[in-house]
Structure 1
Amino acid sequence: MPDLRPQLLLLTLPLLFVGIAFWAGSDFLTKQLLSLSYRSPDKLQADTLPQVLLALNFTLIDINLDQEDQVTQVKIITANSMLKKLELEIPNSSFSEVAIAQKLGLYPQIKKLEPNQQIKVKIPLKLTAIKAEIEKKQGFSLVEIITTNNALKKLNFVLPVTEVNMLEVMTAQLLNLSQEDIRKLISYQVKN
């Protein structure tokens, strides 16, 4: 029977050299890659929410209060403007109307909100999303603006357009934003 040890040695010796070369080469390559400096930005760059100062002029029709555990849900129904409804959340208190006037920036000029009262207010908003429901048959669009403000959560507008590009233009004018900012935030639902 022939001796297979020399043939086995000839087979394993090249594999051993390839393994040692691979180990040494990968170690060298790893040290080279880790020693390189990578350019990174100095500051964290995150998408920021658009901020607007919204001037509203409306007539108050009704206030609905829904008291929950720690907050009061407030829905303010309006007239005489494109704004139809505001939704607020305020902490529970015995003087909820004063708290509403404070959150809207009306206090101390207006201490109590009453029906048929004309209100002019400038509200700073941080926008989260805009939902547009286009009613083709009725010829208008319902636009809901969702905010991250402490108290003011939603604003509902009715705009007299049904075309997407015109809706973007009118919403941009209403919020004093660019159409590009509006396109980033808006989502559509079309009803025929």
Structure 2
Amino acid sequence: MFYHVSGWWEGKLRNPQTVEHYDGIILLGGFSNYRTDVKRIRFTESADRMFQALELYKLGKADWFIFTGGSARIIAKEKHEGEFLKDYLQLMDIPKERLLVEWQSRNTHENAVETLKMLKEKNIEDGHFLLVTSGFHMKRALGCFAKEGILVEPYKTDPLQGNLKPDLADAITPSAGVLAMWERLFREWIGYVVYKAKGFS
């Protein structure tokens, strides 16, 4: 059942080769943290967002590479995601003059608000952008960016839905992994409803 429900929620993936050209790629954070003891980035399970965005930029699908993401933690002091990823993205040959990065935002709503500020600084707020985030998170993200008046098209990554349809054994055998993905999907549905109620999307 999860295979079908997640597929319905997330929708289809796109072939990077067939993606048209955009003014910029907007990459949402939430896929890495920084180990200060070893000065090393630790990528998490949603890092597919970054790798897909890098591929699209390398394929010449956009003029600007835009990253938005700080930290959701209010009390704990940690290096913000945008701070260390700015250097990493330049290391990956993203030109400094075509890279926009912010690390003030703490959630998806603030991602959109802070991104609009960066776009206005470069006078490209009326452009057409490709929004890159996880498939299960895309509906909420699209709503937030549309609310701020940013024209975006989705490019979904790291889908919850598996590559292969489950067989009978999968359907009747309990799986801790599937239960964890159900939990993630339920949390996203709650977040989607809450954002709608708050007028964020």
| TM-score in same-fold range (> 0.5) | no
> In proportion to residue count, which structure has more helix?
2
Range of TM-score over shorter length: under 0.3
> In proportion to residue count, which structure has more strand?
1
* TM-score normalised to structure 1 length: 0.26
Structure of higher CA gyration radius: 1
- Taking CA–CA contacts closer than 8 Å with sequence separation of 6 or more, which of the two structures ends up with the larger relative contact order? 2
